[in-house]
Chain A
Amino acid sequence: MNALASAVKLHLNKREATLLVPLYITATVALISVLISLLFWRSGSQPGSAVWIESSQYNPGMLYALIGFLAYLGVQSVSTTFPFALTLGSTRRAFTGGTLLWAVITSAYLAAVFTLLTLIELATDHWFVGFYVFDVNVLGAGDIARLIPIVFLGTLTVLTLGGVFGASWVRFASRGPVVLGAGIAVIVIVALIVLIPVAASIAAAFQLWWLAVASIAIVLLSSIGTWLFLRPAIVR
């Protein structure tokens, strides 16, 4: 347990990257969203109108901006941290477990931050002027019961997926991510080839919880993959 806790602390040792940079990105995207809203306002669109609300809620900027950083954070959590963890005396087992636990903590932290900001946005009737920053479709359109799993599982998925790519790089150098990426692409394409004839019926039956199940499956597979890559990996 101590080894696991030490591995988590090793990740949290970079406090700014884990805790503050996501906030910087969120604030930057929020500012840009507000500026774009002002642009529409100046061009004649009216805050609070049905068109204004619908178009504002289609803004996926927050999601895209964070995904890039979270993917990087996931990759580096293994690729550059693993060699140092071994130097400090961590076992591969403790490091892999600690990395997953750190990803859970980071995901919970971001889910809490987004929940708080969304609640503030809703309570202030969208920052008093009708700006939609967090009350957007990709974050559950103001429904906290959807926002929390979206942010938590989305962050966890991206972090662990980044982690398995980082682990493949540690194990096989540049060949690792290339082969892993190609392998995932092949699996996705083959799945599409098999499912495309019934795509319409699948879409009709689609339930949001399917995404949650898919996300949990990706997290589990990524974590197992990370362990399998790191177990025999040596640092040279």
Chain B
Amino acid sequence: MTTAIDIQSVTRRFGRTTALSGMSFSAEAGSILGLFGRNGAGKTTIMSIIAGQDRPTSGRVEVLGREPFENESVLSQISYVRDNQRYPDDYKLHHVLRIAPDFAPNWNADVAAELVEGFRIPQKTKIKKFSRGQLSSVAIVLGIAARASVTLLDEPYLGLDITARALFHDVLIRDYAAHPRTIVLSTHLIEEAERLFDRIVIVDRGRVVVDSDRDEVPNLAFTLSGTADAVGRLVRERTVLRSNTIGGLRSVTVRGATDEALAAEARASGVQIAPASLQELVAAFGESEALAPASDSAPEAALTQNGAHS
């Protein structure tokens, strides 16, 4: 496998605001990477940098072996539609479909037509009057039909109904299987997209807090549910990422993998134990103050602390 996207120690500052702080991860060619995190975690910023639409303040970004910024040959192989994409004044759908092939050498008109029909995208309405879901539909058409070597999908589901989301999944999987490419997909609807991913990256406060193969997710964290006292005893000496208490009952997400001893102790205490789902993992790492960076000058601390960075 070759590396399609390589992010090394990328920091991006906007004035006094640090959007990315020493972020590092990579994506193999022909894989689907899920990029997760809370709003403002840095997902869109890193996608913009990967797409050559922005530059890091420091650090290194390589896409298909080269820096993407102002690199014509690399940019022609990247597709990235922002979640708040702006279109030229008075643009209608046909304007988009007419110009996109000029910039996307692998553009497939049949895929575009199938998606347009399936999403029921209005042909005669100006794009600036589109609903949120219709805007997402146009972005998906651009993203999938381009068949770009590196496809970045930033919150592609926003405003889409369940039928449209199912269509998106079906066409994406089918077209990806026939024409493999590297896909980075960020979404908050994690359960729906979970089956797509080969690798997951969770970011928080501009740092990578989890970077793992999809298969390793069950070993990254687990949940315990039971009486508050029993759960409290079991999580002593462990890092609790997330905790909910209702009355005398407590549910926690704990970092790390379970072991036989813990499982036996949980059974004896009447505490339920289970591997954390991807959604629970993302929610836990997004909420965890344990991973809050101590300072901007120590980005590696967060990566090492979570024990999941590879």
Contacts and interface: CB of A to CB of B under 8 A. Distances in A.
A88 B76 CA distance: 8
B241 to A, nearest CB: 31
A48 B104 CA distance: 59
Nearest to A89: B75
A66 interface: no
Contacts of A16: 90
A93 interface: yes
A87 B100 CA distance: 10
A171 interface: no
Interface stretch (A77-85, A108-116, A121-129, A144-152): A77-85
Interface stretch (B78-86, B167-175, B222-230, B281-289): B78-86
Interface string A38-57: 00000000000000000000
Chain A contact residues: over half helix, strand or loop, or mixed? helix
Nearest to A3: B72
A146 to B, nearest CB: 33
A80 B89 CA distance: 7
Nearest to A81: B88
Contacts of B99: 9-10, 13, 88
A6 B105 CA distance: 12
B106 to A, nearest CB: 12
A76 B79 contact: no
Given A87-B142, A89-B75, 4 more contacts: A13-B88, A76-B89, A91-B52, A234-B54
A81 B90 CA distance: 11
Contacts of B48: 234-235
Nearest to B85: A87
Interface of A: 3, 6, 9-10, 13-14, 16-17, 76, 80-81, 83-84, 86-94, 234-235
9 contacts: A6-B103, A13-B98, A83-B85, A86-B52, A87-B81, A87-B82, A88-B103, A89-B104, A235-B48
A14 B88 contact: yes
Contact of B102 (A6, A76, A80): A6
Given A234-B54, A235-B53, A80 B88 contact: yes
A3 to B, nearest CB: 5
B85 A91 contact: no
A91 B53 contact: no
A84 B99 CA distance: 11
Contacts of B142: 87
A90 B76 CA distance: 8
A90 B82 CA distance: 15
Contacts of B85: 83-84, 87
A235 B104 CA distance: 20
Contacts of A83: 82, 85-86
Contacts of A88: 99-100, 102-104
A17 B89 CA distance: 10
Nearest to A234: B54
B137 to A, nearest CB: 15
Contacts of A86: 51-53
A220 B84 CA distance: 33
Nearest to A9: B102
B75 A91 contact: yes
B148 to A, nearest CB: 8
A88 B98 CA distance: 12
